Amino acid sequence: MSTGVSSQEEIAARVKALESMLIERGVMTTSMVDHIVDIYENEVGPQLGAKVVAKAWADPDFRTRLLDDATEACKELGIGGLQGEDMVVLEDTDEVHHAIVCTLCSCYPWPVLGLPPNWYKDPQYRARIVREPRKVLSEDFGFAVSDDREIRIWDSSSEMRYWVLPQRPAGTGGWSEDQLAELVTRDSMIGVGPVKEVA
């Protein structure tokens, strides 16, 4: 799977050109663009999922509700909406590691994870993660899952969107939910990467 800088630079150049054209033609203003960017950076995105994970780590009752009905539990925190109507959370354990994919297109739980990364929509990822998950995680993401842990791949669809509750790191007893949320990464909630290391 190619995640080269050149393709990222090309996408960024196209986005900038489109933005400039829309502003020049009066379709949008720079303040409108800034507002949209702010929404996706601060109101919709992986930081919301991180908030949910941190609460589940800190509050056992909430964790139970999240695993029973993720959609309803997220609503308790004011998180929900389009692409998040039917969510299921999969809890990582010492024995099992979970990862998600959408083999048909790019179904993804936007309310908690934000916009899907480009690689998530890449046909190579969608095909290979199902066939050789351990190899994909190690080679494409630099994320080694020990051989004694089972890896389960979950295929999201328009009817059901999965995401991962990663394991709480050791050494975080007594941490606030805000501190815990800082450890949670988007990739850890997709299952292709770890949470941040505890300093």
Q: How many domains does the chain have?
A: 1
175 found inside a domain: yes
11 in a structural domain: no
Whether 107 is catalytic: yes
**Chain centroid, CA 68 distance in Å:** 20
Q: For 151-168, what is each residue's pLDDT tens digit?
A: 999 999 988 999 999 999
- How many helices (H) does the chain have, and how many strands (E)? 11, 4
Asked if residue 87 belongs to a domain, the reply is yes
Check the annotation: does 188 bind a ligand.
Answer: no
102 is catalytic: yes
- For the segment 71-125, what is each residue's pLDDT rounded down to a tens digit? 999 999 998 776 667 899 999 999 999 999 999 888 898 889 988 888 999 999 9
Q: Residue 117 is part of which domain span?
A: 44-190
- The verdict on whether residue 74 carries a ligand-binding annotation is no
CATH number reported for the structural domain that contains residue 57 in this entry: 3.90.330.10
Instruction: Quote the tokens at residue 87.
Output: 């969510």
**Does some domain include residue 5?**
no
Residue 35 domain flag: no
Of 2, 6, 31, 102, catalytic: 102
What pLDDT sits at residue 137?
Answer: 98
Q: How confident is residue 6, by pLDDT bands cut at 50, 70 and 90?
A: low
pTM of the model: 0.80
Residue 198 burial (CB count, 10 A): 11
28 inside domain: no
Residue in 105, 157, 158, 176 annotated catalytic: 105
